[in-house]
Amino acid sequence: RSQGPKAMERAREVLLQIRDPRALPPFLVGLEHPQTRQIAVEALGHLGVKKAAKDLAPLLKDENAHLRLTASEALGNLGDLSGVPVLTALLGHPSATRRLLAISTLQRLTNQRFEFEPNGAESERKTSIGQWRKWWNLNKGKHELAVDLVGEKPPGEATPPGDGEKKGEEKG
């Protein structure tokens, strides 16, 4: 049975404190409903049940940029860095706030630090995005991933000319 957002939020708070894998089913149901999806994604990322990664991975392609960011972070919290290409793409988002959230999440999940100023000049941001893409291309094989995003990009994300022309190069 579907729970409303307030009930889902209360359940999330209680279940996250006990970190019991039996809490997984209600949050998986929450993924199916737009009103509870965001809360469910956050909860699944904090619950620590790695098998939830397969249910979170499809959200990396969602139309909603904030949901893609949250799913990337949730997967990272589970030890899965499938969302790095999504977070890297979000560094080019029109919103400085979204860019700040993306860079903070990237740095926390990867322990990498490339110069990036969310309010900086576009040319400087593009340089940093290039550094992140290069790092990911060199390191993605070292990480266990729930999904293979090579050659795919989230909805609404443009691929710069020349990107992804070589086999195995990540897009978007």
Asked if the model's pLDDT at residue 146 lies above 90, the reply is no
pLDDT of residue 92: 95
Asked if the model's pLDDT at residue 150 lies above 50, the reply is no
Q: What is the mean pLDDT of residues 63-70?
A: 95
Question: Helices 5-18 and 37-47: crossing angle, nearest 10°?
Answer: 0
pTM over 0.85: no
Higher pLDDT, 77 or 14: 77
pLDDT of residue 30: 87
Q: Which long-range contacts (CB under 8 A, 24 or more apart) does 48-51 make?
A: 48/19, 48/77, 48/78, 49/21, 49/24, 49/78, 50/78, 50/79, 50/80, 51/24
Q: What is the mean pLDDT of residues 99-123?
A: 93
Report the distance separating Cα 136 and Cα 5, nearest Å.
35
Q: What is the mean pLDDT of residues 87-91?
A: 96
Question: What percentage of the chain reaches a pLDDT higher than 90?
Answer: 52
pLDDT of residue 18: 66
pLDDT of residue 154: 40
